[in-house]
Structure 1
């Protein structure tokens, strides 16, 4: 019987169970084995970049598990935006179509980690700093190398870190927005969705509310669990 959903992505690994309340744990991807200690493979449904590398009974793509996971919170999502560490996936649930950005770090969690590291910050600090910004500045590049050069130039010109972080979020969101088809119910998931600055920027660009479920980083693991349960029926 499937009892656990496991999502091992490029940067983090997540495990979810319902016993009967939702419980979960998160660690770095390289430490995924610590999440599975004592758990038989026939109780695991897996997803994520390394889904076939870990012990499992059932495996599913992140596209599939995102839909199953989101539907735990929203019955009829139209578009799901999953911002991962190394890629961003946009799934149009209505048309059974998806787009993946995996050619450049622009528009992925890795880009924000790069920026946070430069400022000596944690990624989790970016959202709080965003809210302190007085205004945004145009950032023309979201390629990590060129963006950093541009950020340094703005710092030399006297712009604040707060304004620059908000501006980077804006540039990041603009890149993501280009991938999103028009829809009324857009859902944002993945670890980056915990950054409220990204959600705010997307809402400003698209001029609509973006739905973000609780604990958006575990949605694929939850979806894997629900998918596995269904396949066993």
Structure 2
């Protein structure tokens, strides 16, 4: 059985004390690849260092997280974009919109998302979308930018069945994480209604640890717990979930 974690910030300070042990635990849990979305211009060095330590397993994505769009966003975007002239990346991210924490820079978040969608099309790589309390607003921009070549993941999907189908129609996969294991996570109807071919697995480490680790630091070795819950909801085997989601992720990030 092979698993792929499509979204984990394992370069974050939360892993400073046991980063190598954490990667080893992921391997032991049959997590063969981990995709690491960037945060802003200050997280790049740590992310690339971890990728260099574990080539073929840890993959860097490049982008600007919406919660880190501030007054200096144009300069930060310039710094981030400069990396595309130095090397290739597996994807753009973490991009998107966030109306949960702070609405101060929402217009700037929208501008940054449009720019990152354009990068995804220019470099022909997928984009990973953060949509906290902003699904409709994010989807509107994606639909405007869609020219048939834009692909990616609605990360940490926690919307309705209708929203799931809208994201899929827009050409995107759904990233399913620890929320699927929460008693009141609300994802059961979505997972029952959506075909496996539209799903990928993620942990969003160090956040949103699945049951029975809820409330603790999350890490990629917990990914089988998420896959198992999907299998239970869909009344299929864990192996079927692993094969389908690994195939989907491999094709997306090819």
Q: Which has the higher strand share?
A: 1
Q: Which has the higher helix share?
A: 2
Q: Which has the larger radius of gyration?
A: 1
* TM-score past 0.5 threshold: no
TM-score, normalisation: structure 2:
0.31
